[in-house]
Amino acid sequence: MFSYVYMKILESQPRRYDSGINLLSLGQSERVKKRLVSENVVRGSRVLDIGCGTGTAAVMAARAGAKVTGFDISAPMLAIARDKAAAATTADQIEFIEMGVSGMDRFAADSFDLVMSTLAFSELSLDEQNWTLEHAFRILKTGGRLAIADEARPSTAGKRLLHGLVRIPLAALTFALTQTSTRAVAGLPRLVRRAGFTVDTEERSLLDSFLYLVAKKEATRP
């Protein structure tokens, strides 16, 4: 079962991150990034990748013809991302910035066609999620899209129980190794709508614990 706690352990070894996450997610991580890019990236568009990590999705978007800005708080992850972009000859199409979501106020309003995020919202507090969505809405052009793929809190008690049987011991191990707590995203579609977006796609997989969500900015909020 895919779990954010695996991700926190793997982040301590950035060079192993991609292969480890793809293996532990039974290929879901790689597949969802490909889907997110193929369904939402338009050639010539401007894309922001929130928590871009090792740059896999950012490079995919650049290969699809987008101009990409990716940011992440981890310098080692960004070093790998820059190497990937150079190897894929997309370095001139991608700007990588070392920062957290608090820095999103640096971006101009109505300046992006797509804001995307894979496996980043589950690292944010509720206040940070709301801040990120507020600024995602602000910086998107009217008609622009928000696309998110992340671990989610299962919606039923039975699925939460099954998920918890795997998650709880791994969460304890993760805290022992990294002193970092873990949390799946809860109620993200509701938060997205509250930020002003219209949700077009909301799909769950892996015992309801993985969310793929696409929303649109229909118009500027009053």
SS (H, E, C) 19-37: HHHHHHCCCHHHHHHHHHH
CB atoms inside a 10 Å sphere around CB 114: 24
The SS3 of residue 203 is: strand
pLDDT digit string (tens) for 106-159? 999 999 999 999 988 988 999 999 999 999 999 999 999 999 998 876 565 455
- pLDDT at site 138: 97
How do the domains of the chain map onto residue ranges? 4-216
Distance CA 153, CA 189 (A): 12
Q: In what order do the strands lie in the sheet with 210-216?
A: 94-98, 67-72, 46-50, 112-118, 140-151, 210-216, 198-205
Q: What is the pTM assigned to this prediction?
A: 0.82
Q: What is the mean pLDDT of the chain?
A: 82
The CATH number of 4-216 is 3.40.50.150
> Which stretch of 73-82, 87-96, 202-211 has the lowest confidence by average pLDDT?
202-211
CB atoms inside a 10 Å sphere around CB 12: 12
Distance CA 140, CA 117 (A): 14
State yes or no: pLDDT of 208 exceeds 70.
Answer: no
- pLDDT at site 29: 73
- pLDDT at site 185: 79
Residues with Cβ within 8 Å of residue 221, at least 6 apart in sequence: 137, 196
Of the candidates 53, 69, 61, 38, the residue with the CA atom closest to the CA atom of residue 118: 53
- pLDDT at site 123: 85
Average pLDDT value for residue range 49-78: 95
Cα 53–57–63 angle (5° rounding)? 135
Rg of the chain over all Cα atoms, to the nearest angstrom? 17
pLDDT digit string (tens) for 84-112? 999 999 999 999 999 999 999 999 999 99
Residues with Cβ within 8 Å of residue 58, at least 6 apart in sequence: 47, 49, 52, 68, 70, 81, 85, 94, 96
